[in-house]
Structure 1
Amino acid sequence: MKTNIHFIVNPIAGKGKNELSEALLETYFPKDEYSVSIKKTEFVLHATSLTKASIDEGAQIIVACGGDGTINEVASSLVSTSVILGILPMGSGNGLASNLKIPKNLNKALNIIKSQNAIAIDTGTLNGEPFFSNTGVGFDAHVISDFEENTTRQLFSYVKSTLRTLKNYHYKNIVELKYNGTTELISPFLLFVSNSNEMGYKMSLTPRASLQDGLLDLVIVPELSHFKLFIFAILFLFKKQHWMKEVRFEQITSLEIKSQDNRILKTQKDGEFFVPKEPRIEIAIHPKSLNVCVQ
């Protein structure tokens, strides 16, 4: 019986012009052994509907070809199924792919898919919506909101969005946090929850996070002075943010964030801007709920 593999391609991810030809794929997946289908996304959330159609069509491996947003759309439909996720990193950040040591080199990434060596990884949910790398409330969400307004999605654009957000950011909202049996009130600069040890561009707030430990890594950064924000940014660049005493790290299985003034909290989910429908956010881990091709 032929192995049924579907490729969901985002043509405009990263630098754009992403192409996968049938001729190229046939050199890795010959027609006498594999049934291969290529589908291209045309709009936001199109990858989700294409993935669901591929599941109905009996795909055994569905390959997300794009950045973290595309991977999120494809993987969201594969959680708690037997269908295996493959990844061809074609985006700008590629945090999950990098964490899984899946290279941007197309030939090497295709060989990983051909090997069909799969592991089960943890996944997270934010108000029931899946995420795979990280989610955040506060500064990073505002950076992503600014970043998505750019026509190009490269590292320099991300740096510019970060600097603009730092200049204009005045976050004074008080939230109630519940985790590990504790409750606290805080006016946060950043609440960052990570399932993986990389955010993309080789940057990390949670270098010790693991996709297979059944835990989420929480970073709590309180409201800081401009000087301390500068120090935090410098430490972050050198992956030494833990040197700053104001920054706290916790490992959790669930987290509840509730706005005290019923304000809707801006969030990001796997590097995409996300606005919850209510002022309460519930985040949870789901151990080993997604099968992914790795080396």
Structure 2
Amino acid sequence: MRTNIHFIVNPIAGKGKNELSEALLEAYFPKTEYSVSIKKTEFVLHATALTKKSIEEGAEIIVACGGDGTINEVASCLVNTSVIFGILPMGSGNGLASNLKISKNIKRALAIIKNQNIIAIDTGTINGEPFFSNTGVGFDAHVISDFEENTTRQLFSYLQSTLRTLKKYHYKNTVELKYNETTELISPFLLFVSNSNEMGYKMSLTPRASLQDGLLDLVIVPELSNFKLFIFTLLFLFKKHHWLEEVRFKQITSLEIKSVDNIILKTQKDGEFFVPKEPKIEITIHPKNLNVCVL
């Protein structure tokens, strides 16, 4: 009985022109042992549709070949199923893949999938929509909104978006936070919730986060003066942002964020801009409900 494995490829992820040849795949997955299918995405959310079709076709392993957006689309269909999730990192950030120590070298990543060393990882949801690396309200969401207007998605473009957002960012919205039996009002610069220890580009706000601890790591940064904002940015670049006394860290299983002014909050999930349908956001952890191929 041959193993049914499907590859969902985003040709324009990262630097673009991503190719996955049948000859290369056959070297790792010979036709005598595997039934291999390659599907290419053509538009936003196409990966979701292709993954659902692959599940219907009996795929036992489905591999996302792209960046965090493609990974989110494919993995969202695989939570709470027996289908094994594989990753070929072809994007710009590759936060989840990096956290799982999956190489950007295609041949090494294919070897990981072939070895089928499987672990179950936690996943999160924001208003019922799955995320795997992180989600956030505030500054990071505004950066992502600016970043998505770029034609190139590289680290330099991300840094440009960060600087542009810093110049124009005025986040005065007050929100009510509920977590760990605590309720507080805050006007946040940043509310960042992470399942993994990396955001992409080797950057991290939550270096101690784990994909298997049944917890989400919450970073709360209140509204800051321009001077403190400059200090925070510098410390973050050197992974020392915890030195700033205003920055707080919490481990949670759920979080409710509600706009006091009834405003729809700009949000990002897994590095993609996300707009909730209501002024209240509910974020929850779901322990070990996704089976992933790892090193």
TM-score by length of 2: 1.00
Partner of 1:124, secondary structure, is strand
Report matched runs for 1:67-82 at 5 Å.
Answer: 67-82=67-82
Partner Cα distance (2:111, 2:149) in 1? 35
Partner Cα distance (2:54, 2:103) in 1? 25
Give unmatched runs, 5+ long, in structure 2.
none
Q: Offset at 1:271?
A: 0.1
Q: Offset at 1:3?
A: 0.5
Q: Offset at 1:277?
A: 0.2
Partner Cα distance (2:117, 2:246) in 1? 42
Partner of 2:78, secondary structure, is coil
Residue 230 (structure 1) aligns with: 230
Given the alignment of the two structures, is residue 46 of structure 1 paired with residue 46 of structure 2, yes or no? yes
Which AA in structure 2 matches 1:277? K
Sequence identity of aligned pairs in percent? 88
Which AA in structure 2 matches 1:53? K
Given the alignment of the two structures, is residue 134 of structure 1 paired with residue 134 of structure 2, yes or no? yes
Residue 125 (structure 1) aligns with: 125
Residue 291 (structure 1) aligns with: 291
Given the alignment of the two structures, is residue 113 of structure 1 paired with residue 121 of structure 2, yes or no? no
Q: Offset at 1:31?
A: 0.3
Partner Cα distance (1:178, 1:227) in 2? 29
User: Structure 1, residues 25-50: CA drift from partner, whole Å, max 9, x if none?
Assistant: 00110000000000000000000000
Which AA in structure 2 matches 1:65? C
Partner Cα distance (2:124, 2:46) in 1? 21
Partner Cα distance (1:233, 1:118) in 2? 37
Which AA in structure 1 matches 2:77? S
Residue 200 (structure 1) aligns with: 200
Residue 219 (structure 1) aligns with: 219
User: Structure 1, residues 68-112: CA drift from partner, whole Å, max 9, x if none?
Assistant: 000000000000000010000000000000000000001100000
Partner Cα distance (1:102, 1:163) in 2? 30
Report matched runs for 1:146-185 at 5 Å.
Answer: 146-185=146-185
Partner of 1:199, secondary structure, is coil
Partner Cα distance (2:22, 2:281) in 1? 43
Partner Cα distance (2:271, 2:233) in 1? 19
Given the alignment of the two structures, is residue 275 of structure 1 paired with residue 270 of structure 2, yes or no? no
Partner of 1:77, secondary structure, is helix
Which AA in structure 1 matches 2:44? V
Partner of 2:19, secondary structure, is coil
Partner Cα distance (2:74, 2:90) in 1? 14
Q: Offset at 1:255?
A: 0.1
Residue 94 (structure 1) aligns with: 94
Which AA in structure 1 matches 2:62? I
Partner Cα distance (1:164, 1:154) in 2? 16
Partner of 1:193, secondary structure, is strand
Q: Matched residue pairs, number?
A: 295
CA RMSD of aligned residues (A): 0.3
Residue 27 (structure 2) aligns with: 27
Q: Offset at 1:57?
A: 0.4
Partner Cα distance (1:196, 1:113) in 2? 20
User: Structure 1, residues 147-167: CA drift from partner, whole Å, max 9, x if none?
Assistant: 000000000000000000000
Partner of 1:104, secondary structure, is coil
Partner of 2:93, secondary structure, is coil
Given the alignment of the two structures, is residue 4 of structure 1 paired with residue 4 of structure 2, yes or no? yes
Residue 65 (structure 1) aligns with: 65
Give unmatched runs, 5+ long, in structure 1.
none
Given the alignment of the two structures, is residue 17 of structure 1 paired with residue 17 of structure 2, yes or no? yes
Q: Offset at 1:276?
A: 0.2
